Amino acid sequence: MEKREIRERLRSKGLTEFQTEVLIRIMDIPKGETRSYKQVAAMVGRPGAYRAVGTAMKKNPMAPVIPCHRVVRSGGELGNYSAPGGTRRKRELLLKEGWKEEA
Partner DNA sequence: TTCCTGACGCTCG
Partner DNA sequence: GCGAGCGCCAGGA
Residues that bind DNA (CB under 7 A): 14, 16-19, 36-38, 46, 48-55, 57-60, 63, 68-69, 71, 73-75, 77, 79-83, 90
* Residue (30 or 85) nearer to DNA, CB: 85
| Angstrom distance (rounded) from CA 16 to CA 13 | 9
One DSSP character per residue, 21-51 reads: HHHHHHTTSPTT--EEHHHHHHHTT-TT-HH
Closest contact distance (angstroms) between CB of 45 and DNA is 9
Catalytic-labelled residue, pool 53, 68, 72, 94: 68
CA-based torsion, 63, 82, 78, 93: positive or negative: negative
Give the H/E segment covering residue 71.
strand 71-72
Residue 68 annotated as catalytic: yes
**Residues with a known catalytic role:** 68
